Amino acid sequence: MIYQDSKTLLTVRKLHATVNGIEILKGMDLTIKSGEVHAIMGPNGSGKSTFSKVLAGHPSYEVSGGEVEFEGRNLLDLKPEERARAGVFLGFQYPIEIPGVANSQFLRLAYNTVQTERGKDELDPLEFDDFVREKMKLLEMNPDFLDRSVNEGFSGGEKKRNEILQMALLEPRLAILDETDSGLDIDALRIVAGGVNQLANKDNAIVLVTHYQRLLNYIVPDYVHVMESGRIVKTGGKELALELEARGYDWVGAEVKANARVNA
Amino acid sequence: MNTVSTSRYLDSLLQGQPPASPLSWLNALRANAVDRVGALSVPTTRDEDWRFTDISPLTKLSFQPALGAAQPAPGTAQLNAADIERWSIAEASARLVFVDGMYAPEHSFNRAGITVENLASGVSTHAAAVQAQLGRHAAFEHNAFAALNTAFLHDGALVIVPRDAALKAPVHLLYVATRKQAASYPRCLVIAETGSAATVVEDFVALQEASYFTNAVTEMSLAGNAAVHHVRVQRDGAEAFHIANCAVSLASASRYHSVSVALGARISRHNLNVLLAAEGAECSIDGLALIGGQQLADTHTLIDHATPQCVSRQLHKCIVDDAARAVFNGNIMVRAGAQRTDSSQSSRNLLLSAKARVDTKPQLEIFADDVKCAHGATVGQLDVDEVFYLKSRGLSDTAARNLLTYAFGAEVIERIPVASLRQRLEQLVLAQTQAPALGAVHPS
Ligand SMILES: Nc1ncnc2c1ncn2[C@@H]1O[C@H](COP(=O)(O)OP(=O)(O)OP(=O)(O)O)[C@@H](O)[C@H]1O
Ligand SMILES: [Mg+2]
């Protein structure tokens, strides 16, 4: 939601990034204020996940230009773990499986690490167990998932729920949810979206990377951006998503080219 | 090193053998072994089987058989009940303790309701069974260390699980090294009769960090439909030499499950030979070596599919840090006629430093045509995406790496069917990998 007294959380200016020497991000610009929900859409391969991972600090991506400011700090100076502790959260498009690490152990470790950073008390295993079970109820998750290895053998939808569970535990300032809706069945989509809505407040912000309008019926965006070839080429309100759903992406590209001719 | 000097080295180890036994067959077995020791020499890296494991540091040291020493030598650590408690397994219904290879009845007990006793008495109480099995599985014709152990054969552990007895609680065989420069020759015989089931834990621990030499032989015989879980934990001292030969024979439809964990010793070598001798036998052989510093841990396994329709599963993992070196040689033999063999082997290795090294060699010899044999080996570092995933949740680089390293090893530890031992080993691996999971979290 757009608030009058909101603060700027994230400013991305002319961001360029490469992977294996190939430039993927080619001048991203984006400003996000507290309380807002942004949707990023765009064709496959346009760079949405790359942008998300660059914000989270994935080592395979090299920033080759531009700047990113998060709550007044240079985000690009921070290590991935420092970004997480500062309140940046990435919900992965493809969550990683970690055999041998119990989900409960992992969740508690992550939670306590971030709590400590925020000057709050850690929870011992018993306290944490109660706490995490409450959060799981919110997402209608079976507690059995605590005893299994992190994401191992989880179905696509179960992995996505586990991502949102992590978000619920870590209470980030900026959550980037990369295709959290893909792989979710109709009921799960409603439940997970409900969970995200409960976590949204006037002090944090959410970026939804998605291909489908359906998610945006549940989590209503303030802004919809279209990415193409590593840049945001169009920004609109929630109606833009409906228009994209109806007409596809081709017209956006055509419009961009036409504008470029006009401006030339 | 030439053959003459290494064979002389073996001769030096032959000093101080135990007195002759009243049993002529046992004396004959020992005499035969003494002959073989005389004929064989300490293997060198020119032997195919020892290509990667240079045992010559052993031959630069001299060791006295522990049983000869009347008085504990200076530098011998005093073993007390508290030490034993430290290693005890809460679930165990029987325990035999061997101190430097010698039976320590004061630390042992048996509430299992089956035969768990020292071999020296077992040779008379169960004469026929012991005579039929002892020395029949662990061949020493071409194996100097097995021959040496057999030359010293006079005591050890004897476990006999009677027909159809299903033992729920594990039997704990605890081998404690207390003397420096001591050579000990642990010996173990497990006889699982038809339809019986048991769990046997062999546990090698040390009270001191000086060098000593453990040369162990374990034999297991599983009759039809028997099931044995065999857990082997080698946590010897940092300067120890540990050589072990284990031979297991499986009759029809019997099942052998083995988990071996190697953490200690400067140089260790574990030979495990499993003979699937009759139809329908199954085995799972899992191993973990977790080493660092200058350690070398070598595991050689042979799974011998001698008959049709047997199943074998193997997972072997090595975690190697610093300048340590791990060796794995996994031989799967499928003999002619062993149709419908189903076998899989996986060797997975994690190198934690640039100087760490692993030599892994799956060795499949297949002489039958209707078989399913899958095998694979990987050597690598921690996965970048896994490390990043953990860091993206706030874990420090060190914490993330340690947790993943721990998890890598935990996959094997989790297969140990004794809860308290599993937990203790998990703690040990955690400590070794300094994983933060169970302790306090210190973001860096
Ligand atoms: N590690 C990599 N090596 C080479 N190319 C890469 C790598 N990672 C991403 N790319 C390329 O970068 C481009 C953008 O990929 P990205 O995953 O960011 O797209 P996306 O917009 O998230 O697509 P989708 O909608 O399919 O998820 C693609 O062409 C992809 O192939
Ligand atoms: Mg993507």
pLDDT tens digits along B75-104: 566 788 899 999 999 999 999 999 999 999
Confidence class for position A263, pLDDT limits 50, 70, 90: confident
Pairing of strands A88-91, B64-65: unpaired
pLDDT, residue B427, reads 86
Check if the beta carbon of residue B157 is closer than 8 Å to that of residue B118: yes
Distance between CA atoms of residues A206 and B90, nearest Å: 51
Which one, of B274, B282, B225, B228, lies nearest residue B249 by Cα? B274
Check if the beta carbon of residue B305 is closer than 8 Å to that of residue B275: no
Mean pLDDT of B180-198: 96
* Residue B230: HSE in the Cβ half-sphere, 13 Å Cα cutoff: 31
CB contact under 8 Å between A80 and B404, yes or no, is no
pLDDT, residue B78, reads 77
Q: Is the pLDDT of residue B4 over 60?
A: no
Mean pLDDT of B327-356: 97
Chain centroid to CA B107? 22
Q: Is the pLDDT of residue A76 over 80?
A: yes
Output the average pLDDT for chain A: 94
Q: B434: which DSSP letter?
A: T
Collect all residues with Cβ–Cβ distance below 8 Å to B59 and sequence separation of at least 6. B1, B5, B6, B9, B42
Residue A198: its H or E element: helix A186-199
Q: Is the pLDDT of residue B69 over 60?
A: no
Distance between CA atoms of residues B58 and B145, nearest Å: 12
Mean pLDDT of B146-169: 97
Domain ranges of chain B: 3-383
Mean pLDDT of B55-83: 77
In this structure, which residue's CA is closest to atom 9 in ligand 1? A50
Distance between CA atoms of residues B218 and B202, nearest Å: 9
Collect all residues with Cβ–Cβ distance below 8 Å to B233 and sequence separation of at least 6. B201, B202, B203, B204, B260, B261, B263, B421, B425
CB contact under 8 Å between B436 and A59, yes or no, is no
Mean pLDDT of B288-310: 97
- What is the Å distance from ligand 1's center to A24 Cα? 8
| Backbone dihedral region for residue B402 (phi beyond 0: left; psi -120 to 50: alpha; all else: beta) | alpha
Mean pLDDT of B154-176: 97
The helix/strand/coil state of B371 is: strand
- List Cα–Cα distances, B317 to A11, B170, B244, B268, B350, in angstroms: 46, 24, 18, 15, 8
Residue A257 CB neighbour total at 10 angstroms: 11
Which one, of A231, A194, A182, A257, lies nearest residue A27 by Cα? A231
Mean pLDDT of B244-257: 98
- What is the Å distance from ligand 2's center to B395 Cα? 24
Mean pLDDT of A181-197: 93
Token pair of B428 as six digits: 């040990």
Mean pLDDT of A70-79: 97
The helix/strand/coil state of A143 is: helix
Does the model's pTM come out above 0.90?
Answer: no
Query: When comparing pLDDT for A25 and B69, which is higher?
Result: A25
* Least-confidence region, from A257-261, B53-57, B190-194, B253-257: A257-261
Which one, of A158, A153, A106, lies nearest residue A132 by Cα? A106
pLDDT, residue B436, reads 46
Taking a 5 Å cut-off on Cβ, the residues next to ion ligand 2 are A 48-49, 93
Taking every pair of C-alpha atoms in chain B, what is the biggest distance, in angstroms? Answer: 70
Check if the beta carbon of residue B260 is closer than 8 Å to that of residue B274: no
Which chain A residue is nearest to residue B430, measuring alpha carbons?
A: A101
Q: Is the pLDDT of residue B1 over 90?
A: no
Check if the beta carbon of residue A161 is closer than 8 Å to that of residue A181: no
Distance between CA atoms of residues B49 and B191, nearest Å: 29
Extract the runs of DSSP E, i.e. beta strands, from B210-254: 213-222, 227-235, 241-250
Q: Is the pLDDT of residue B5 over 60?
A: no
Check if the beta carbon of residue A222 is closer than 8 Å to that of residue A2: yes
CB contact under 8 Å between A80 and B385, yes or no, is no
Mutate to test the pocket of ligand 1, among A16, A26, A48 (most ligand atoms within 8 A of CB): A48
CB-CB: which of B388, B407, B443 is closest to A101? Answer: B407
pLDDT, residue B75, reads 58
Distance between CA atoms of residues A16 and A25, nearest Å: 5
Output the average pLDDT for chain B: 92
Distance between CA atoms of residues A34 and A6, nearest Å: 5
pLDDT, residue A19, reads 97
- Cβ neighbours of A60 in B, within 8 Å: 384
Closest ligand 1 atom to A230 CA: 14
CB contact under 8 Å between B397 and A116, yes or no, is no
- What is the Å distance from ligand 1's center to A214 Cα? 23
Token pair of A129 as six digits: 């167990």
pLDDT tens digits along A230-245: 999 999 999 999 999 9
The helix/strand/coil state of B18 is: coil
Domains of chain A: 8-96+172-263 (3.40.50.300)
Distance between CA atoms of residues B214 and B66, nearest Å: 10
pLDDT tens digits along B386-425: 999 999 999 999 999 999 999 999 889 999 999 999 999 9
| Backbone dihedral region for residue A57 (phi beyond 0: left; psi -120 to 50: alpha; all else: beta) | left
Check if the beta carbon of residue B357 is closer than 8 Å to that of residue B329: no
Residue B208 CB neighbour total at 10 angstroms: 18
Chain centroid to CA A94? 12
pLDDT, residue B71, reads 57
Q: Is A171 on the interface with B (CB under 8 A)?
A: no
Residue A188: its H or E element: helix A186-199
CB contact under 8 Å between A98 and B404, yes or no, is yes
- Cβ neighbours of A113 in B, within 8 Å: 393-396, 399, 441, 443
Q: Is A119 on the interface with B (CB under 8 A)?
A: no
pLDDT tens digits along A95-145: 999 988 889 999 999 999 999 999 999 999 999 999 999 999 989 999 999
Distance between CA atoms of residues A57 and A17, nearest Å: 11
Collect all residues with Cβ–Cβ distance below 8 Å to A257 and sequence separation of at least 6. none
Confidence class for position A70, pLDDT limits 50, 70, 90: very high
